[in-house]
């Protein structure tokens, strides 16, 4: 298949692995931020190809996993109300809130629908003018432009029965938090290619300068991930620290200006809680006051719902690379994809779920 | 070091979820925790796709299946042909010659008689192709809103060949794992119709009766241990069931498993893994290694087995586990899913 097969070519993959082995002389700790990249690493068993000196830690880049407990509870509260059609990306449905999950709201008669795009939710709102249609708009900078566009279009159309429960998080503040931690072990980052396709990579250049840490913007196929690792190893071995772009077929330095404009029209930067990590300043988006009529938290008055995360879960340490999923005594025993305790076991992109599904059987 | 005590898992023993019908771990749990403790008997507890019972010295295969597919009509078939082929295949996988079917309709008030006629005609055509007769049936009507147009249950009986004892618990280390063709066609066909995805090339369901392919296999080998059609839950779930029931490991080669380009493309787009996508006209056979080549050759003479091939083998190592050698020579564990495969967000 064109545009895919060339990035999964076994010969290219092996050549990149050889290049990494030939270059490396000492241990390095690298983090891929994005859950999609974690998934690729696990699905293709890429760690087996790497020399033992490379330690990969899997970062907080699964938007499903980092959506805070209280936002899930708000979603459940809204979706349970009579007359509401609640529209969500598929894997949000299984994420446990403090007491229930959306799948059980559906089993109890709630009108929940899976969509691939917020535009589907807009269409549902047009088709059902007497029902309140709420889209669960979550994600990193990747989904934000489409979600912003849905809100923007709803206002322009006067689609009064549409609103969005928004929980958007931003990647650079999370990297800053990890790098700023005294316990930090990560020496190089693979930045998320799709986020950078939207935002460009100047924010990462700032991080590189501030913390003297190499960052490579990487894609999502096996060849992309290995090439990004090779570029990081090369920088680390030669003592350089710059931001480089591996994912040149999708990412430019400036990013997608039209998408950025639409996002800043609808959203403003706000402090945000991350499930498993906690409060990170200026790390999310909220819907601007001009669009308050389309903000489900304000429409349904759910913004005041506050829930504390269970202190026991070690996902905070896992997502910062300080622990591996297998270090948790619950991993694979009473925390499984079937009965997830922490959110990182819920989504297939979550690091615990990815480990569980694709853990190397030699481990 | 801190001692980590995770909170108690969120129990979900109170209500049925859609995932309980997915063919994955939740389905197995329902079986294990609700049905089997109450209904247990030696035949049921074998957990084959069909029961084999002996009556007056005659061994019969007996199976039932309900069909709730949406949309009712899809490229390559409809709920009618699917309901016949599904039950025919469950019989055939036990090495039985399918003979008689029942069909029970649960109709929703307001359903178009023309559609019902079309579905019934499709059942008749499928039955003729499979060489079975629909000899009894039932009709119930539920109030508007209590059903989804039409649900069909079919039950079938067939005659088991003399001396044949196929079982998902019969796989032995060294046996070959044979797959009859490309995976994922049915599930992706249904999903793309449901999602209204416009693809360049329409993906047709592979729904088909597999009895003649089974005939071809059994005519050349007495070393067949088990056959299964990987329907809901896909190839991955079927292999996991065989590994668990036989207490063996299964090692498959990623590159040996055919997937049509259109299915691969749709899976990429939808964030799905074809290993977990449903098939309705494919079979997996576990065959003694020495017979494997002859079985593959015989399967390839049947149009439904044209792309048949050996995709892996049974191992002593990793009992109960399915592993896959990727195109890069690395290993991936092919686990069973908990519930339905949910699309990934990005």
Homologous superfamily in CATH for domain B176-333 = PurM-like C-terminal domain (3.90.650.10)
Instruction: Please state, in angstroms and rounded to a whole number, the distance separating the CA atoms of residues B273 and A55.
Output: 27
The mean pLDDT value for B10-26 works out to 74
Of the two residues B13 and A19, the one the predictor is more confident about is: A19
A329: confidence class by pLDDT, cuts 50, 70, 90: confident
Q: Range with the lowest mean pLDDT among A8-17, A109-118, A124-133, B2-11?
A: B2-11
Contact A103 B6 (CB under 8 A): no
Whether the Cβ atoms of residue A138 and residue A168 lie closer than 8 Å to each other: yes
Contacts by A99-105, CB closer than 8 A, 24 or more apart: A99/A73, A100/A76, A101/A72, A101/A76, A101/B10, A102/A72, A102/A75, A102/A76, A103/B17, A103/B18, A103/B19, A104/B12, A104/B15, A104/B17, A105/A76, A105/A79, A105/A80
Q: Chain A 238-297, CB below 8 Å of chain B: which residues?
A: none
Q: Does the beta carbon of A94 lie under 8 angstroms from any beta carbon of chain B?
A: yes
Q: Chain A 332-361, CB below 8 Å of chain B: which residues?
A: 334-342, 347-349, 356-361
Instruction: Please state, in angstroms and rounded to a whole number, the distance separating the CA atoms of residues B250 and B171.
Output: 9
What was the pLDDT predicted at A62?
79
The mean pLDDT value for B244-265 works out to 95
Token pair in block for residue B27: 């389905």
Contact A335 B6 (CB under 8 A): yes
Residue of B nearest to A340 (CA): B9
Size of interface A-B (CB pairs under 8 A): 140
**pLDDT tens digits along A151-160:** 999 999 999 9
Whether the predicted pLDDT of A363 surpasses 60? no
Q: Check the CA dihedral A299-A305-A310-A316 and report its sign.
A: positive
Task: Give this complex's ipTM.
Answer: 0.76
The mean pLDDT value for B161-190 works out to 95
Whether the predicted pLDDT of A30 surpasses 50? yes
B291: confidence class by pLDDT, cuts 50, 70, 90: very high
What was the pLDDT predicted at B21?
84
Token pair in block for residue A30: 């690298």
> Burial, B138: exposed, middle or buried (Cβ in 10 Å; 0-12, 13-18, 19+)?
exposed
- Rounded to the nearest integer, the mean pLDDT of chain A is 90
The mean pLDDT value for A269-276 works out to 89
All structural domains of chain A: 1-308 (3.40.50.11740), 315-358 (no CATH)
**pLDDT tens digits along A50-99:** 999 999 988 888 788 788 889 999 999 999 999 999 999 877 887 778 88
Q: Does the beta carbon of A142 lie under 8 angstroms from any beta carbon of chain B?
A: yes
Q: Does the beta carbon of A124 lie under 8 angstroms from any beta carbon of chain B?
A: no
Q: What is the length of chain B?
A: 346
Instruction: Please state, in angstroms and rounded to a whole number, the distance separating the CA atoms of residues A42 and B41.
Output: 41
Domain(s) labelled CATH 3.90.650.10 in chain B stretch across: 176-333
Contact residues, chain B, for A362 at CB < 8 Å: 331
Give me the phi and psi of A57, to 5 degrees please: -115, 145
The mean pLDDT value for B270-291 works out to 94
A310: confidence class by pLDDT, cuts 50, 70, 90: low
Whether the predicted pLDDT of B43 surpasses 60? yes
Contact A337 B195 (CB under 8 A): no
A362: confidence class by pLDDT, cuts 50, 70, 90: very low
Whether the predicted pLDDT of A210 surpasses 90? yes
What was the pLDDT predicted at B344?
52
What was the pLDDT predicted at B268?
83
What was the pLDDT predicted at B5?
24
Question: Which positions ≥6 away from A256 have C-beta within 8 Å?
Answer: A145, A197, A198
Give the residue among A286, A282, A275 at the shortest CA–CA distance from A71.
A275
What was the pLDDT predicted at A117?
87
Domain(s) labelled CATH 3.30.1330.10 in chain B stretch across: 49-160
What was the pLDDT predicted at B9?
32
Question: Which positions ≥6 away from A175 have C-beta within 8 Å?
Answer: A33, A189, A191, A204, A207, A215
Give the residue among B345, B247, B26 at the shortest CA–CA distance from A336.
B26
Contact residues, chain A, for B15 at CB < 8 Å: 104, 107-108
What was the pLDDT predicted at A172?
96
Whether the Cβ atoms of residue A143 and residue A137 lie closer than 8 Å to each other: yes
Contact A347 B345 (CB under 8 A): yes
Phi-psi region of A3 (alpha: psi -120 to 50; beta: other; left: phi over 0): left
Contact B328 A314 (CB under 8 A): no
A100: confidence class by pLDDT, cuts 50, 70, 90: confident
Q: What percent of chain A has pLDDT over 70?
A: 96
Question: Which positions ≥6 away from B214 have C-beta within 8 Å?
Answer: B92, B93, B95, B227, B283
A43: confidence class by pLDDT, cuts 50, 70, 90: confident
What ranges in A128-256 are assigned the alpha helix state H? 144-157, 171-180, 193-199, 202-211, 222-237
A332: confidence class by pLDDT, cuts 50, 70, 90: confident
Contact B6 A341 (CB under 8 A): yes
Whether the predicted pLDDT of B58 surpasses 70? yes
The mean pLDDT value for A276-286 works out to 90
Residue among B321, B332, B343 whose CB faces A114 most closely: B343
**pLDDT tens digits along A108-123:** 999 999 888 899 999 9
Whether the predicted pLDDT of B12 surpasses 60? no
Whether the Cβ atoms of residue B260 and residue B321 lie closer than 8 Å to each other: no
Give me the phi and psi of B251, to 5 degrees please: -115, 120
Helix %, strand %, coil % for chain A, to 5? 45, 20, 35
The mean pLDDT value for A229-254 works out to 97
What was the pLDDT predicted at A285?
96
**Class for domain B49-160, per CATH?**
alpha beta
Residue of A nearest to B262 (CA): A1
Shortest alpha-carbon distance between residue A358 and chain B (Å): 5
What was the pLDDT predicted at B6?
26
What was the pLDDT predicted at B200?
65
Question: B6, B16, B240, B249: best mutation site toward chain A, by most A Cβ within 10 Å?
Answer: B6
Whether the predicted pLDDT of A326 surpasses 50? yes
**Crossing angle of helices A351-358/A35-43, nearest 10°?**
10
The mean pLDDT value for B162-186 works out to 96
Contact residues, chain A, for B327 at CB < 8 Å: 8, 10
What was the pLDDT predicted at A358?
65
Shortest alpha-carbon distance between residue B22 and chain A (Å): 12
Contact residues, chain B, for A329 at CB < 8 Å: 4-6
Contact residues, chain A, for B18 at CB < 8 Å: 103, 106-107
Choose the most confident range, by mean pLDDT, from A270-279, A335-344, B92-101.
Answer: B92-101
How is A279-301 classified by DSSP, letter by letter? EEEEEEEEE-GGGGGGBHHHHTT
Residue of B nearest to A312 (CA): B6
Contact B344 A90 (CB under 8 A): yes
């Amino acid at each position: 298949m064109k545009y895919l097969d060339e990035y999964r070519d076994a010969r290219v993959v092996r050549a990149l692995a050889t290049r990494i082995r030939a270059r490396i002389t000492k241990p390095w700790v690298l983090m891929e931020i994005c859950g999609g990249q974690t998934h690729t690493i696990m699905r293709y068993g890429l760690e087996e190809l790497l020399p033992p000196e490379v330690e990969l830690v899997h970062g907080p880049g699964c938007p499903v996993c980092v959506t805070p407990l209280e936002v899930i509870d708000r979603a459940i509260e809204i979706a349970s109300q009579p007359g509401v059609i609640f529209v969500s990306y598929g894997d949000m449905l299984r994420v446990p809130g403090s007491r229930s999950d959306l799948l059980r709201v559906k089993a109890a008669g709630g009108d929940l629908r899976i969509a691939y795009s917020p535009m589907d939710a807009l269409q549902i709102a047009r088709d059902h003018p007497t029902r309140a249609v709420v889209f669960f708009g979550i994600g990193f900078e990747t989904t934000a432009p489409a979600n912003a566009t849905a809100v923007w279009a709803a206002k322009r159309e006067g689609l009064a029965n549409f609103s969005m429960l928004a929980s958007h998080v931003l990647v650079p503040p999370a990297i800053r938090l990890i790098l700023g931690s005294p316990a930090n072990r990560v020496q190089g980052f693979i930045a998320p290619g799709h986020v950078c396709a939207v935002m460009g990579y100047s924010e990462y250049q700032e991080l590189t300068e501030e913390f003297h840490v190499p960052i490579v913007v990487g894609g999502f196929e096996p060849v992309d991930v290995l090439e990004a690792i090779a570029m990081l190893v090369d920088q680390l071995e030669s003592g350089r620290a710059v931001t480089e772009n591996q994912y040149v077929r999708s990412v430019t330095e400036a990013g997608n200006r039209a998408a950025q404009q639409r996002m800043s029209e609808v959203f403003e930067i706000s402090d945000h809680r991350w499930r498993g990590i906690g409060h990170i300043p200026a790390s999310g988006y909220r819907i601007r006051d001009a669009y308050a009529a389309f903000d489900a938290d304000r429409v349904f008055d759910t913004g005041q719902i506050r829930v504390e995360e269970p202190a026991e879960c070690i996902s905070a340490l896992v997502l910062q690379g300080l622990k591996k999923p297998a270090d948790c005594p619950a991993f694979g025993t009473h925390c499984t994809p079937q009965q997830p305790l922490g959110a990182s076991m819920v989504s297939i992109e979550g690091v615990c779920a990815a480990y569980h599904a694709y853990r190397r059987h030699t481990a | 070091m801190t001692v980590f005590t995770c909170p108690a898992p969120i129990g979900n023993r109170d209500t049925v979820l859609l995932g309980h019908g997915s063919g994955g771990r939740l389905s197995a749990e329902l079986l294990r925790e609700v049905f089997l403790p109450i209904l247990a008997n030696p035949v049921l507890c074998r957990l084959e796709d069909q029961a084999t019972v002996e009556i007056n010295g005659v061994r019969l295969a007996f199976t039932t299946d309900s069909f709730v597919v949406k949309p009712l009509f899809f490229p390559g078939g409809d709920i009618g042909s699917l309901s016949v082929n599904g039950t025919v295949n469950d019989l055939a996988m036990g090495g039985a010659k399918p003979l008689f079917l029942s069909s029970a309709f649960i109709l929703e008030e307001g359903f178009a008689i023309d559609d019902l006629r079309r579905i019934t005609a499709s059942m008749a055509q499928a039955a003729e192709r499979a060489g079975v007769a629909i000899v009894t049936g039932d009709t119930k009507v539920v109030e508007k809103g209590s059903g989804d147009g039409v649900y069909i249950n079919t039950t079938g009986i067939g005659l088991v060949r003399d001396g044949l004892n196929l079982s998902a618990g019969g796989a032995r280390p060294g046996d070959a794992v044979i797959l009859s063709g490309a995976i994922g066609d049915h599930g992706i066909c249904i999903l793309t119709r449901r999602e209204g995805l416009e693809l360049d090339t329409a993906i047709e369901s592979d729904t088909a009766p597999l009895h003649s392919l089974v005939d071809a296999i059994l005519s050349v080998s007495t070393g067949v241990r088990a056959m299964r059609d990987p329907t809901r839950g896909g190839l991955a779930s079927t292999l996991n069931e065989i590994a668990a029931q036989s207490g063996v490991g299964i090692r498959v080669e990623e590159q040996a498993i055919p997937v049509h380009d259109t299915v691969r493309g749709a899976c990429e787009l939808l964030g799905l893994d074809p290993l977990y996508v449903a098939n309705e006209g494919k079979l997996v056979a576990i065959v003694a290694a020495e017979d494997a080549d002859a079985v593959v050759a015989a399967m390839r003479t049947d149009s439904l087995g044209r792309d048949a091939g050996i995709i892996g083998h049974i191992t002593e190592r990793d009992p109960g586990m399915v592993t896959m050698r990727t195109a890069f020579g690395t290993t991936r564990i092919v686990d069973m899913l908990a519930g339905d495969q949910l699309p990934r967000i990005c």
